[in-house]
Structures are given as structure tokens and as C-alpha cells.
């Protein structure tokens, strides 16, 4: 029996049969989900990580590729992808696909000759959103993002600075909206990252951050510097970012 597991549930081990799950079925909104199809593969030894026979490996990869392509999904590890994709591994077939395809793909894998489904982990949801709409959403959060940047840039000494890039990546991970047409992750700087960099530059220009070596290294003002420069982080003005 195929089972769908909501990986964001408080007790993920308490999964239900696929026919009893409703939260991850297609709700007509056209959204996508990050999914892991946990599988058993014929001839694959999970203890040493190898196939016992080359023919089993060939059969698995050929059949997995056929199933993935039959659903109009790109077979890829996900690098530089901005669309549906699945990556085939003998223990997991994973990627981002339309919610409406999860059950159908699970059944196809389970009915294949080389694989059987153990369960399916379903993670974050993704949507399609234009850049022009997304920058409006980021600007709506700009005050909150700016406050977070100020907090992450705080140091104990005035000669201690923090690289701006990791702070921008942290902003990306904390404030991004998952978009299928512009996937952002730790290895792929996206629009949220670029927005955070522009926000850092604005904060430097307006005296809310101190820079060293252009914008590459920054720090927040300590309490003494805030008082001396009449800086109030609680009421600081953060202007909209028009483009990134």
C-alpha cells in the first residue's frame, strides 16, 4: 500500500494511507511541491550502495527515466532548474512536481518492474509568480528584513565585521517565497538574495550599517555609536527597492 507522509507534520511517523490523505492532493491552485518518493529497487544493496548486477542498474535507470518523462517532468538533479524536475536514485526519486502528479507518479513507480514504493515524503509548496509581483511582496517585508539584517550584522567589537553575502543568503532562506519559476537555495542566489544586498547598500548609505571594503563586510552600530549618530533602529526608514 502506498503511503503519503507529510514531512512537516508534528509526528511524521504517524503517516496515513494515500487514499486517506487530503492535504497534499491537487486543490486546483496549480501549485507544486518538493517531494521524495522513497523506493525499494530490485538488485540494489542499500548497505553498500551498489547494484548486485549491472542489468538491474540499467533497468532501474531506464524505467525511472521513462516514468519521469511520461509525466512531462524533466529528469535532473535540480541544478539551475526553474521548472518541474525529478532525480532518480535507487533509494529516492526526488524533486519538485505539480501537486496533481504526486499520487499518479507514486502509483506508476509502485507498478513498475524494478521499483516499489515504501512511502512518499511531501515537503514545501512552490508557486508560480512573476518577478514584478515578487518584488512587491519583498518590499512589503522590507522593514522586517532590514531589522533582521541589523541583528545578524551585530558584532562585539568595532573592528569586527561580517561578510554581507552570508547575511543576504540568510535573508533569502528566512524570507523567500518558494517559486517554481525562480528556485532559490543555499547554492543558488536568487531574487531574495539580490534584494537583501540592495537593502544592505541602502542601510550603509543611510548610516544604519558601517562598511569595510565596500559592501562586502559590514556591522551594525553599537549602542554608543547609535546614541552619537542619533540612530534609532526601531524607527529607521527603509525605502522600497525598485529593481534588483
Q: What is the CATH number of the domain that holds 158?
A: 1.10.10
pLDDT at 79: 83
pLDDT at 29: 62
Q: Are 197 and 172 in contact (CB under 8 A)?
A: no
Tally of structural domains, the chain: 2
C-alpha of 110 from chain center:
27
Domain assignment of residue 171, given as a range: 131-235
Instruction: Identify whether residues 140 and 201 lie together within a single domain.
Output: yes
Q: Are 183 and 78 in contact (CB under 8 A)?
A: yes
Instruction: Identify whether residues 71 and 136 lie together within a single domain.
Output: no
pLDDT at 23: 47
CA–CA separation, 31 vs 125, rounded Å? 7
Q: Is 244 contained in some domain?
A: no
Instruction: Identify whether residues 190 and 117 lie together within a single domain.
Output: no
Q: Among the three residues 72, 101, 126, which one is the final residue of a domain in this structure?
A: 126
Residue 6's DSSP bridge partners are 122
Name the grid cell of 128: 508560480
Instruction: Identify whether residues 122 and 207 lie together within a single domain.
Output: no
Instruction: Identify whether residues 122 and 19 lie together within a single domain.
Output: yes
Q: Among the three residues 126, 161, 182, which one is the final residue of a domain in this structure?
A: 126
Q: Is 75 helix (H, G, I), strand (E, B) or coil?
A: strand
CA–CA separation, 120 vs 106, rounded Å? 8
Q: Is 243 contained in some domain?
A: no
Instruction: Identify whether residues 230 and 178 lie together within a single domain.
Output: yes
CA–CA separation, 11 vs 100, rounded Å? 24
Q: Among the three residues 72, 91, 126, which one is the final residue of a domain in this structure?
A: 126
Q: Are 193 and 172 in contact (CB under 8 A)?
A: yes
CA–CA separation, 179 vs 235, rounded Å? 32
**Regions in the chain scoring below 70 on pLDDT:** 1-29
Instruction: Identify whether residues 12 and 108 lie together within a single domain.
Output: yes
Instruction: Identify whether residues 16 and 81 lie together within a single domain.
Output: yes
pLDDT at 26: 57
CA–CA separation, 35 vs 24, rounded Å? 11
Instruction: Identify whether residues 164 and 192 lie together within a single domain.
Output: yes
Residues in the chain: 244
Q: Is 98 helix (H, G, I), strand (E, B) or coil?
A: strand
Instruction: Identify whether residues 162 and 225 lie together within a single domain.
Output: yes
Instruction: Identify whether residues 27 and 58 lie together within a single domain.
Output: yes
* Cβ count within 10 A of residue 181: 14
Amino acid at each position: 500500500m502506498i503511503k503519503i507522509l507529510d514531512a512537516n507534520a508534528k509526528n511524521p511517523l504517524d503517516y496515513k494511507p494515500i487514499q486517506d490523505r487530503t492535504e497534499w492532493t491537487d486543490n486546483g491552485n496549480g501549485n507544486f511541491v518538493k517531494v521524495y518518493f522513497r523506493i525499494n529497487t530490485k538488485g540494489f544493496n542499500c548497505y553498500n550502495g551498489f547494484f548486485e548486477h549491472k542489468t538491474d542498474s540499467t533497468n532501474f535507470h531506464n524505467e525511472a527515466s521513462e516514468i519521469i518523462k511520461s509525466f512531462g517532468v524533466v529528469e535532473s538533479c535540480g541544478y539551475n532548474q526553474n521548472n518541474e524536475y525529478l532525480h532518480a536514485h535507487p533509494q529516492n526519486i526526488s524533486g519538485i512536481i505539480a501537486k496533481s502528479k504526486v499520487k499518479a507518479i507514486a502509483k506508476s513507480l509502485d507498478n513498475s518492474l524494478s521499483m516499489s514504493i515504501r512511502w512518499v515524503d511531501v515537503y514545501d509548496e512552490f508557486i508560480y509568480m512573476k518577478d514584478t509581483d515578487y518584488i512587491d511582496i519583498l518590499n512589503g517585508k522590507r522593514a522586517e528584513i532590514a531589522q533582521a539584517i541589523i541583528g545578524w550584522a551585530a558584532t562585539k567589537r568595532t573592528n569586527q565585521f561580517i561578510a554581507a553575502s552570508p547575511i543576504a543568503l540568510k535573508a533569502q532562506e528566512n524570507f523567500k517565497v518558494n517559486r517554481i519559476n525562480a528556485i532559490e537555495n543555499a547554492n543558488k542566489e536568487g531574487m531574495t538574495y539580490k534584494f537583501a544586498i540592495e537593502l544592505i547598500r541602502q542601510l550603509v548609505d543611510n548610516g544604519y550599517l558601517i562598511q569595510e571594503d565596500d559592501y562586502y563586510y559590514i556591522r551594525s552600530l553599537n549602542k554608543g555609536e547609535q546614541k552619537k549618530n542619533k540612530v534609532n533602529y526601531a524607527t529607521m526608514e527603509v525605502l522600497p527597492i525598485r529593481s534588483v
